[in-house]
Structure 1
Amino acid sequence: MKFLFESDTWQEIYESIRKNKLRTLVTIIGVTWGIFLLVTLLGCAKGMENSFNRLFGDFATNSVFVWGQSTSIPFKGFQDNRRIRIKLNHVEKIKNEIPGIDFVVPRYERTGTLTRNFESADYTVFGDYPQLNKVQKKNLSFGRFINHQDIDKKRKVVVISEEVFKQLFKKEEEGVGQNLQINEISFKVIGIFKAGQFDREDSVHIPFSCFQQLYNVGDNVGWLMITGLANADINQIEKDTKLLLKNLCKVHPDDPRAFGGFNFGKEYSKMTGFLKGMQFLTWFVGIATLIAGVFAIGNILLITVTERTKEIGIRRALGATPIMIKRQIILEALSLSLIAGTLGIICGGLVLIFIDSEFGQGDEAVLVNPSVSIPIVIFAVICLAVLGTLIGMIPANRATKIKPIEALSDE
């Protein structure tokens, strides 16, 4: 390793580059472009991944929604077009009988008139359980969400969105602890939340037990939000849930219309699959371009070796060993590769900073914090060093085969 610190070693590399400026520049651009593409595309892919994570960060993505519709096939004495209602007692049966389920959250939705002092407007009123805050986390600005005591005691409490607060309350007022009316019945505000991607800005949440009394829905459920465990097959959970509900509601097993559903987990898998495909394509394009650039370095050095035949012959005649000639050529290839790689990483980083400043700001940003992790950069540099060393061995081996007498007689 001593030769790495010798000035003569680097002087020879410098002279070789200086004599072939244009050729060396073109070669470096090829490798720089490869590493630039790799860094930039990986950074953009990461930005898209961050955008998806922010979009679905507070939502249990391994979920499915199921609701009752109307039958299309007569069954056990019942005619078709019978309206199907999911009941509260179905919830525990689904949770206990279907494997892989984490939460089963019953929900209901109706329009309600909210009034405070002289302000009044129609909003969407949801009847909910505390489990909703586990599968669809509420970004609470003040107060708390519904708890189990609210359900058991049928408390008249409400959690409102910031938009509802702005419309019904004055700016200097504290919403939590204040009263408002829903359909002329007084409720106490216990929390204020900022509407997320899957929230309605004009929505309020009250305990499901209180919702039952307010809207006289009995033990009916509007729809079920079913969340599977992390390793559970949400597609199978959807099939098993609908089949169990058909059995409980006396619906024909092959009836396709009785229960509607939206498999959020399936749609989310499609999006994550797209991201993985994009990352694979990025690695493929970047590395392929990188290899092409490194091969260009090898070709340039082969030409350089041919042009330096007499010089190599003189060095051999003066006592230079084959290993000395070989390591000089390999070091030159490695140096060019690392110089080009460093330039590519710097240029790619600058482009990602520009993309983040121009397109990565705000709630609607498509690319959120596009960046490349340090381990990936180190891995890319190591790959570049290995490829540069390997490709440098081709002209190096050719240089060691030059015999001093033949080289000196070469014109």
Structure 2
Amino acid sequence: MKFLFDSDTWQEIYGSIRKNKIRTVITIIGVLWGIFLLVVLLGAARGMENGFNKIFGNFATNSVFVWTQSTDTPFKGFQKGRRFSLNNNDIDVLKSEYAKEIKLLAPRNQTTNLIIHNFKSGDFRVSGDYPVLDQIQKKKLIYGRFLNERDILSYAKVAVISEDMYKQLFDKDEIPIGEYIKINAINYKVIGVYEPSNTIDFDGDTAYIPFTTYRKVYNTANQIDWMMITANEGTDIEQMERDILLTLKNLHKVHPEDQRAFGSANLGKEIGKVTGFLTGMQFLTWFVGIATLIAGVFAIGNILLITVKERTKEIGIRRALGATPKSIRQQIILESVFLTTIAGMLGIVFGSLILFFIDAAASNNEDIPLINPTVNIPIILIAFVTLIILGTLIGLIPAHMATVVKPIEALREE
């Protein structure tokens, strides 16, 4: 390691670089571009992943949504185009037959009504729900609480409203908890206010009231508009969706091949598509980045080979004056490692600056689906160390070429 601190060694490296400034700069840019691309692409991929996670937020991503439409195939005496509804019996059957697969099941009823508070009013969605909804689609409460089992059992006339509804119906700084709003000419006590979701949200501005209260007030009997089902971990969500639809078709006397009778959405399937895209993008990022790094390192090897060729006479003189093959080899390798290290550091710095500017731009523009585009420090260190190792290995080739130069032949070079 003594040669690392030898001023003569560094002076020779400096002299070699200064003689070939343009060539050296081009070489550094080649390596710099490789690690720069790796940092920026990995950061962008992480930013997209963070944006994707934010979109789904606290929503249970292994969920299936089911609703009814109209039949497109005659079956068991029923004509094409028949309309029907889900009911409480469907819920009981599904919970019984798929007890191992289903973790949460939320039947839902929804409508739109004029909601009034004092002299202020607005048309909003009203949803009859069970407390389990808050486990599937988590609400961040500003005031109060969400629905509970006591509300369900007592047919309580209570409501949880959104922040936008609160701003439209209440005066500024007015505390809404305990106040009453009128829905369909019936007074409901406000028990909670939730923030609007900036993630995936199927409801928007909705007043949530107990499912039992909704059924009694709107006289829906056993009718259910739609249901949200969350699967247990390890369950094949796509197979569960197919099985549930087949069971419901059997319960409602719908042809097994009828594709229109039930509507469904599989959140897990859609997430899988995006996850697959992100995985592919990360693979492509690593491939492009590493390939560019290797190309840059080979460029350094080529430059050093040319440098050795140009310095043949100089190397011959040094050999004649007593320089050992080891010292010449160390100098060439050190020059390779030095150029690689400088290029790698600059690439990391410039890549980090670009990610900083991307993050700043994305923070001010919701249309850019990137959130906190960063790269883990261990990954950067691994890439940097790998770059240095490659620089060392590629430097062995010109170093070997320099050591096989015979002093007499070198001195004859013109």
Same fold at TM > 0.5:
yes
Q: Distance in 2 between matches of 1:230 and 1:318?
A: 74
Superposition deviation, residue 318 in structure 1: 3.4
User: Match of 2:130, as an amino acid?
Assistant: Y
Q: Distance in 1 between matches of 2:103 and 2:11?
A: 67
* Mean Cα deviation higher: 382-391 or 360-369: 360-369
Q: Distance in 1 between matches of 2:78 and 2:22?
A: 86
* Mean Cα deviation higher: 361-370 or 259-268: 361-370
Mapping 1:18-29, distance limit 5 Å: 18-29=18-29
Listed one character per residue, the Cα deviations across residues 30-64 of structure 1 (whole Å, up to 9, x for unaligned) are: 11111111111221222111111111112112222
Q: Secondary structure at the match of 2:161?
A: strand
Q: Secondary structure at the match of 2:84?
A: coil
Q: Distance in 1 between matches of 2:103 and 2:364?
A: 35
| Counterpart residue number, 2:264 | 261
User: Match of 1:344, as an amino acid?
Assistant: G
Mapping 1:73-112, distance limit 5 Å: 73-98=73-98, 99-112=100-113
Aligned pairs, number: 411
* Mean Cα deviation higher: 284-293 or 359-368: 359-368
Superposition deviation, residue 132 in structure 1: 1.2
Listed one character per residue, the Cα deviations across residues 47-94 of structure 1 (whole Å, up to 9, x for unaligned) are: 111111111112112222111122233333433333222112322432
| Counterpart residue number, 1:388 | 391
Is residue 61 from structure 1 mapped to residue 64 from structure 2 by the alignment?
Answer: no
Q: Secondary structure at the match of 2:292?
A: helix
Choose the corresponding residue for 2:341, options 338, 346, 354.
338
TM-score when normalising by structure 2: 0.94
User: Match of 1:31, as an amino acid?
Assistant: V
Q: Distance in 2 between matches of 1:156 and 1:77?
A: 42
Superposition deviation, residue 321 in structure 1: 3.0
Q: Distance in 2 between matches of 1:60 and 1:269?
A: 14
Mapping 1:51-200, distance limit 5 Å: 51-98=51-98, 99-196=100-197, 197=199, 198-200=201-203
Mapping 1:147-296, distance limit 5 Å: 147-196=148-197, 197=199, 198-296=201-299
User: Match of 1:333, as an amino acid?
Assistant: S
Note closer, same or farther for the CA distance 1:256–1:229 as it changes in structure 2 (3 Å cut): same
| Counterpart residue number, 2:407 | 404
Q: Distance in 2 between matches of 1:240 and 1:233?
A: 11
* Mean Cα deviation higher: 83-92 or 122-131: 83-92
How many percent identity over aligned positions?
59
| Counterpart residue number, 1:313 | 316
Q: Distance in 1 between matches of 2:94 and 2:191?
A: 31
| Counterpart residue number, 2:352 | 349
Superposition deviation, residue 136 in structure 1: 1.0
TM-score when normalising by structure 1: 0.95
Q: Distance in 2 between matches of 1:309 and 1:354?
A: 47
8 Å contact kept, 1:86–1:222: yes
User: Match of 1:122, as an amino acid?
Assistant: D
CA RMSD of aligned residues (A): 1.7
